[in-house]
Amino acid sequence: MNLTHINANGEANMVDISEKKITTRTARAEAYINMMPETLKMILEGDHRKGDVFAVARIAGIQAAKQTSHLIPLCHPLMLTKVSVEFDPQPSHNRVRIETMCKLAGQTGVEMEALTAASVTALTLFDMCKAVDKAMIISGIRVLEKQGGKSGDFKAGKA
């Protein structure tokens, strides 16, 4: 299998997608952020002095997905039609699971947008809570599923 972002001379190369069919494409990604139990409790009870932590992180994730081509050098700018960011607080594990979904009708996939949304959402949670919990850990960033396109569908196994 060849890397698509490297040309015959071994140089970085933006893939030409002009001949690819427009199809509906979706991708889902996840990330986790572990924190002290007190930090998670503060978020869930709405006691954080910065306000609704999840609302701010959700907006940051959506914005990040829309800016992916500005952050990842060889990504194509995409006209996303849907971006969602969901939170699954898991107090028994002292963490929050983040799941993102990106969708469009286009010529290239949206995995990078979903991953960027998950990453920046986790980073925003960290930023908003670092004053009370500097030891948070962001982990498990991965693509869960992708649909559409020539390469077909993908679904990740259990982590």
Positions marked catalytic: 127
CA distance 17 to 158: 32
Token output for 74: 């060889």
CA distance 80 to 63: 11
Token output for 4: 């698509």
- 29 Cβ contact partners less than 8 Å away, ≥ 6 residues apart: 99, 100, 111, 114, 115, 117, 118, 141, 142, 143, 144
Cα angle 32, 38, 39; round to 5: 45
What would you report as the CA-atom Rg of the chain, rounded to the nearest whole angstrom?
17
